[in-house]
């Protein structure tokens, strides 16, 4: 079971190239701060604009840096089933703990197409698979019924849910059972998600506030609910600021403020506006990450 605070890692860049040293330093810092797991090359890691070679290299760098201390859930999704299988096979061979596979975007598969896509990956690669359901980006939503059907396959072990539907985790738990791992993909609703049967969060905010995010989940798991809620309330302004523009623009700027790489991203993600920079700075100060 995956639980707690998993960081949807940014991919630091410098002069147009992946900054391998900054990335591995980020992974090391995350582990030192208490993060429970690492998720390289998801959307926050700019997987849409990495080449296949860069994508695979970032997965390898993360696994090397983690050195078995925390799980590595590698992003391996694609709207091409064959490509998703290729990326998932690489993640398995590189030593990833699990694969995070986004619903196929743009081509908008039917529920049967969704099922067959994940089944093909499942049958091709012997690795635990977490479904990534993010309708705002993929333009399709996996129903609880389709997810329950997929959960009968032994290596489909959980979901990253970014639907922002606060009833979804409970519906999923009732349909599939408590052993099916449910990780929120929305920092701002993390506590609500946990209270409805969730197990953790794949977090953008933990790129810059890993200790607080981990402490929040530790408190929740220990039954210290007021403490968890207090941390969540403290972090809430930062959650909002990091999505004042399309992610990962704001979080890469936030990371640059604390020396975790540059703010550089690849087009079509561009430098955030000055007004957005001020929102991010103000939120960082309010949380205590900047003076």
Annotated binding site for pyruvate: 44, 202
Residues 216-230, buried b or exposed e (16+ Cβ, 10 A)? bbbbbeeeeeeebee
Name the binding residues.
44, 202
The active-site residue, picked from 132, 252, 253, 277, is: 132
The C-alpha atoms of residue 114 and residue 1 are separated, in whole angstroms, by 24
The C-alpha atoms of residue 64 and residue 154 are separated, in whole angstroms, by 27
The C-alpha atoms of residue 128 and residue 4 are separated, in whole angstroms, by 17
132 classed as catalytic: yes
The C-alpha atoms of residue 143 and residue 140 are separated, in whole angstroms, by 10
118 classed as catalytic: no
Q: What is the DSSP string of 50-74?
A: S-HHHHHHHHHHHHHHHTTSS-BEE
Question: Which tokens in the block code for residue 99?
Answer: 């694969």
The C-alpha atoms of residue 207 and residue 234 are separated, in whole angstroms, by 16
Beta bridge partners of 79: none
Question: Which tokens in the block code for residue 20?
Answer: 């391998």
Rg (CA), the chain: 18
Residues 6+ apart with CB under 8 A from 136: 162
The active-site residue, picked from 3, 160, 277, 279, is: 160
Measured in residues, the chain has a length of 291
The C-alpha atoms of residue 65 and residue 27 are separated, in whole angstroms, by 6
State how far the alpha carbon of 230 is from the alpha carbons of 7, 77, 175, 216, in Å: 20, 35, 31, 8
Catalytic residues: 132, 160
């Amino acid at each position: 079971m995956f639980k707690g605070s998993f960081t949807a890692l940014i991919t630091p860049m410098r002069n147009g190239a992946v900054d391998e040293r900054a990335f591995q330093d980020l992974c090391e810092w995350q582990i030192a701060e208490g993060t429970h797991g690492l998720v390289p090359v998801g959307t926050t890691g700019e997987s849409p604009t990495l080449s296949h070679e860069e994508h695979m290299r970032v997965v390898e760098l993360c696994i090397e840096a983690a050195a078995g201390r925390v799980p590595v859930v590698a992003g391996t999704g694609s709207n091409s089933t064959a490509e998703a299988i290729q990326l998932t096979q690489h993640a398995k061979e590189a030593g990833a703990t699990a694969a995070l596979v986004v619903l196929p975007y743009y081509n908008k598969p039917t529920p049967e197409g969704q099922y067959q896509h994940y089944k093909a990956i499942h049958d091709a690669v012997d690795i635990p698979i977490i479904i990534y359901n993010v309708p705002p980006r993929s333009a399709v939503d996996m129903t609880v019924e389709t997810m329950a059907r997929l959960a009968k396959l032994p290596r489909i072990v959980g979901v990253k849910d970014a639907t922002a539907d606060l009833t979804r985790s409970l519906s999923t738990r009732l349909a599939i059972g408590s052993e099916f791992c449910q990780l929120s993909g929305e920092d701002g609703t993390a506590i609500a998600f946990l209270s409805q049967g969730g197990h953790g969060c794949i977090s953008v905010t933990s790129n810059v506030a890993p200790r607080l995010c981990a402490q929040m989940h530790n408190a929740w798991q220990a039954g210290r609910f007021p403490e968890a809620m207090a941390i969540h309330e403290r972090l809430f302004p930062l959650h909002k600021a990091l999505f004042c523009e399309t992610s990962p623009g704001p979080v890469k700027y936030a990371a640059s403020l604390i020396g975790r790489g540059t703010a550089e991203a690849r087009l079509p993600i561009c430098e955030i506006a000055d007004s957005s920079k001020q929102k991010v700075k103000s939120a960082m100060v309010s949380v205590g990450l900047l003076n």
